[in-house]
Structure 1
């Protein structure tokens, strides 16, 4: 009996500390594919015993309630913070531009409208801050919960302002910081070998490519300054005080969980509080639905090709869809195509159309030989994780840069949409990647490098979130550079001071020599 009691007490002593480690985490998520990433992290946090609470707008596009994993505080807003219909229209315009079917006049009209719409998007997203902070009852409930930290995606600036207002440690689930890649805000970023997103450049640049890179950097910096000054800075002054600087608040996160790694990305300088978790969303594949598994197994030795493009694209233009379907029909492989819209007239018997497919499970299936993608971060990293080569036709944002990183490493081939209709360009690209063993070998090598880590990326992310909870922040990892004006950071004041000192010394020396020379000359005249 005593033995049983002792065992019970020991078991309780082991279990009680584990229960006490659970934290209260407040989450300010972002819409779109960013939410897909965030939800994976939230489910993992819940599995570790943490209480997760999401503060979201009443009208959302992607974010759904899921009481199994998190609680939800709904903030009343008049309209959805992100206009999904606008983004889908924008993608359609870019598809026409890539195909060469968009006139120059239409393109300029679209570009001007896009600039105006971008400001409206910033203002719409930032309206979440006053909607929450001015809601006395909702803020009372949030404060009573006594959260341990704020977890947010800093694609928009709301989370940083709200964390500062609530005086909570801040953790970022990040790759983008408004218009720029997040490294540029926190880490030294020499533009001589670190390409700007959207430049289409690698870390090996010629002189004129470096000129292009710097010009793009300046344009991005202007856009970032514009958003900060006219959208987020007024909110900081209203709710945090007139001396509060938004840029400093934004860069003052305790931990930056970066959704990339140096197997995928180019090596570059980093900082102590940047933690890399590239591919954290990748998991071992689960069994496919029976009908889909049967279709995959029917491919025999030829295997399967899967194709998926952005959820922002409602329908492909009819001629483009017909061109893609015709190319697939000429291949011996079976094809699973995530497709919405009228059935292409050239569709072959080897192609299965589906509005939704379990992409993660298919990419990891041993029968899959090729992934056709637009180059989104999630899909590209899944292909890298499972060692599947890629044929990609990028549309917007970082998609070309993502595919370029794989192409530079020998694991992908990039096409334009125009190539789909020209000289069987799409078909030839797929045949090259399927038949040339180096593509798969290179991707499998990258996969081995990605997997060779002391911890899984998701476990690394969880460790650092819990680290911030345990220590109530990570101030000792923050570099002083975030609090320095640009001229102090780059030592411009020191250079000017030293330059002035040298010039003054030279001037004094010249004046002394001149005076000495005049004195000698006078004496010589008197002696004569």
Structure 2
């Protein structure tokens, strides 16, 4: 009898894992640094037993095949969807602008040209949709796979259109829609205390700062309308029907996995289907390579500074690189500088120049005292996770705003490139952050707040993806506001109705009093 029971238990233990439902997930990724975030999530999904398939263009910039974690479904296109050289040129031009070496006329021409180029990029990106949907054989293979949901980054508009076409639940791995921070599309966002990205403002604004914030909002709205109406709306009408509105389709995702949280960001209104996973890519530090560990340990009590810039900035102007190297050389700390440009002439013996460094492992090392960075989302959130203060000099996009959030919380100091050019400006900024204990204390406090959660951010993200698979969507979490025209959402029609009703009541009252007065006057005249 005991033998039979033991065999039954063993059989159950063998069978139970096979009963777990592994989802079939279709991914439409975005290029560039967005792919780095997406790949981390895909590897985590694979570790939970899900079958992941990415549909990508035949020519890519960042996205690489990795059969260990996901299948690849290749869609033939004539050219790559994103031009990395364009982004590198943008960084180079903004670098000149920050240093004051770009004339105003050239800057204006660059700005206008960049707007045209952004539309061109979205036109190129959107060519993926007809390349897939017009290919009968590819669509047959996709439909035969019977996916449970679509996972995409809505920085490009393709994923939302394709999910709607395939009638699948939609999950976003998101921080950005096309030109705006995603919160503005999904949640009520009062401009009186929610700053637009790019405005350089915090949640505490003066009157004229609020004016500036509204101007930035209007500029962003114009860009968004331009891209959606002229690039993605025609695709919606062609493949989904003339009544389909791209903005409504884009905002109709079941779950929005936001790559931020309120330890890092400013508190703001949110919605039931918004899930925060800020720092989901952060992992415990692993041991450093032996040679790098030896260099770090040689720093003694002074510790180590690490510096890393964007992957788009292969090298800096020679005089700027020399100024940075000279600043490092005057410090007692050891420095690890990830820089692929020529060796600066002023590079000190305390500085190790490398093509690449294990950034997360260094940030988690107890010897690292300071992180010098450009302000990319991944880097500043890794610094927050590990409690390392930051000196940052932002270049473009959201970099200034990311650093500003840390600076407002007392964990970072922002330095313009023009200040780096001045005598000892860079050196003084680093010395201030290194020698003033409050910077490190504040970052350590933020790190503790970030870690004090019931679940790790990556586990939270995985739970909600699996939630959508289990329930075949999350329609009950979607607010009706996404289906309302703007004038209904803002109750403009109600205000006009009530205003009209009041005006009619006042007009009727005035007319009644006027008629009554005339009647009384006539009666008085007759009596006389």
TM-score class, shorter: over 0.9
DSSP 3-state at the match of 2:460: helix
Shift of 1:93: 1.0
RMSD of aligned alpha carbons: 1.2
How far has the Cα of 1:518 moved from its partner? 1.3
Are 1:506 and 2:482 an aligned pair? no
Tell me by how many angstroms 1:4 deviates: 5.6
Match for residue 346 of structure 1? 346
Question: C-alpha displacement at 1:13, in angstroms?
Answer: 5.9
TM-score w.r.t. the length of structure 2 is 0.98
SS class of match (2:74): strand
1:319-363 C-alpha deviation (Å, 9 max, x unpaired) = 110000000000000100110111000000010111111111111
- Classify 1:519/1:120 alpha carbon distance in 2 versus 1 (closer, same or farther; 3 Å): same
Alignment length, in residue pairs?
Answer: 528
CA distance in 2, matches of 1:393, 1:208: 25
- Spell out, residue by residue over 1:240-288, the C-alpha distance to the aligned partner (whole angstroms, 9 max, x if none): 1111110000000000000000000000000000000000000100111
Give the CA deviation at 1:14.
7.3
CA distance in 1, matches of 2:397, 2:18: 43
What is the CA-CA distance between 1:9 and the residue it aligns to?
Answer: 4.3
Structure 1 equivalent of residue 428 of structure 2 = 428
The verdict on how the C-alpha distance between 1:4 and 1:340 changes in structure 2, with shifts beyond 3 A counting, is: farther
Superposition deviation, residue 6 in structure 1: 4.1
- Residue 57 of structure 1 deviates from its aligned partner by 0.8
Q: Which residue of 2 aligns with 1:299?
A: 299
Is 1:136–2:136 an aligned residue pair?
Answer: yes
1:234 aligns with 2:234: yes
Query: Which residue pairs with 2:369 in the alignment?
Result: 369
Q: Is the Cα contact below 8 Å between 1:19 and 1:49 reproduced in 2?
A: no
Q: Which deviations, in whole Å up to 9, do the C-alpha atoms of 1:92-144 show, x marking residues without a partner?
A: 11111111111223222322321221111010111111111111111111111
Contact 1:148–1:472 (Cα < 8 Å) also in 2: yes
Query: Quick check: 1:52–1:71 contact (8 Å CA) kept in 2?
Result: yes
> Per the alignment, do residues 20 and 236 of structure 1 end up closer, same or farther by CA in structure 2, a change over 3 Å counting?
same
Question: Matched residues in 2 for 1:21 and 1:301: separation?
Answer: 52
Counterpart-to-counterpart distance in 2, 1:522 and 1:221: 60
| In 1: Cα distance, 2:316 partner to 2:15 partner | 55
Native 8 Å contact 1:310 1:376 kept in 2: yes
**Distance between the aligned counterparts of 1:405 and 1:327, measured in 2?**
25
Matches of 1:134 and 1:164, distance apart in 2: 16
| Counterpart position of 2:203 | 203
Q: CA deviation at 1:16?
A: 3.0
Task: Answer with 298-307 or 102-111: which moved more.
Answer: 102-111
For residues 298-332 of structure 1, the C-alpha deviation after alignment (integer angstroms, 9 at most, x for no partner) is 11110100000100112111111000000000000
Q: Which moved more, 1:202-211 or 1:97-106?
A: 97-106
TM-score, with structure 1 as normaliser? 0.98
The alpha carbon displacement at 1:7 in A equals: 4.8
Structure 1 residues 344-396: Cα deviation after superposition (integer angstroms, max 9, x where no partner):
00000010111111111111111100000000000000000110000000000
Alpha-carbon offset, residue 86 of structure 1: 1.1
Unmatched 5+ stretches in structure 1: none
Residues 81-96 of structure 1 aligned to structure 2 (within 5 Å): 81-96=81-96
